């Protein structure tokens, strides 16, 4: 509902960023 507590929001943001960078490293098309 868009009302995400701050700490969870931060954790989620970190998780999504790390996942993105991990997938870029794995994908041959990532760079």
Task: Please report, as ranges, the residues that interact with other proteins according to CB under 8 A.
Answer: 2, 4-5, 7-16, 18-20, 22-24
In terms of CB distance, is 7 or 31 closer to other proteins? 7
In terms of CB distance, is 8 or 28 closer to other proteins? 8
Q: How far is the CB of 23 from other proteins (least distance, A)?
A: 5
> DSSP of 1-31, one letter per residue?
-----HHHHHHHHHHHHHHHHHHHHH-TT--
Tell how far CA 19 is from the center of its chain.
5
In terms of CB distance, is 2 or 28 closer to other proteins? 2
């Amino acid at each position: 509902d868009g009302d995400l507590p701050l700490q969870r929001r931060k954790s989620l943001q970190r998780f999504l960023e790390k996942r993105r960078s991990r997938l870029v490293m794995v994908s041959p098309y990532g760079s």
